[in-house]
């Protein structure tokens, strides 16, 4: 499992970790019942505090992505991927409607918005400094 942490990212580290693990679960890289690395091992591999990894795992458990058992570890929980995907698409649609409103207010064309989205996408990929966690 590779986790990338970016200091340029506006999200807190625990959320970056949780979101990346969530993505690995949703795209099928991590399967139902698969054990995650312990919080201590993950913290050591990423050179971050134990509390940061605990908060990431708590976030994942709260959102129904993992199950944790004292003394046994944390495991991927079965997902309703289609429901989650629909919820995220609604969220993206709402954000894009807001962007469209602002763009219309200042006269930005759809072509310029496409260019801007491509730019943001490329920039976000180049700003990430990767720290690999091979705890499996």
- The CATH code of the domain that includes 7 is 1.10.10.10
Q: How many domains does the chain have?
A: 1
Q: Domain range for residue 117? A: 2-132
Report pLDDT digits (tens) over 76-117: 998 767 777 787 888 899 999 999 999 999 999 999 999 999
Convert 89-115 to b/e letters by CB count within 10 Å (16 or more is b): eeeeeeeeeeeeeebeeeeeeeeeeee
pTM of this prediction exceeds 0.85: no
Summarize pLDDT for 112-134 with one digit per residue, the tens: 999 999 998 888 777 654 444 55
């Amino acid at each position: 499992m590779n986790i990338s942490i970016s200091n340029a990212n506006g999200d807190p580290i625990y959320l970056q970790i949780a979101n990346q693990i969530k993505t690995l679960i949703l795209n099928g890289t991590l399967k139902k019942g698969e054990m995650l690395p312990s919080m201590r091992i993950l913290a050591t591999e990423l050179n971050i505090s134990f509390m940061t990894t605990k908060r990431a795992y708590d976030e994942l458990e709260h959102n129904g992505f993992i199950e944790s058992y004292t003394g046994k570890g944390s495991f991927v929980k079965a997902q309703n991927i289609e429901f989650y995907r629909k919820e995220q698409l609604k969220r993206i649609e709402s954000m894009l409607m807001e962007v469209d409103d602002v763009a219309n207010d200042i006269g930005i064309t759809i072509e310029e918005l496409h260019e801007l989205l491509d730019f943001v996408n490329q920039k976000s990929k180049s700003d990430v400094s990767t720290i690999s966690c091979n705890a499996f």
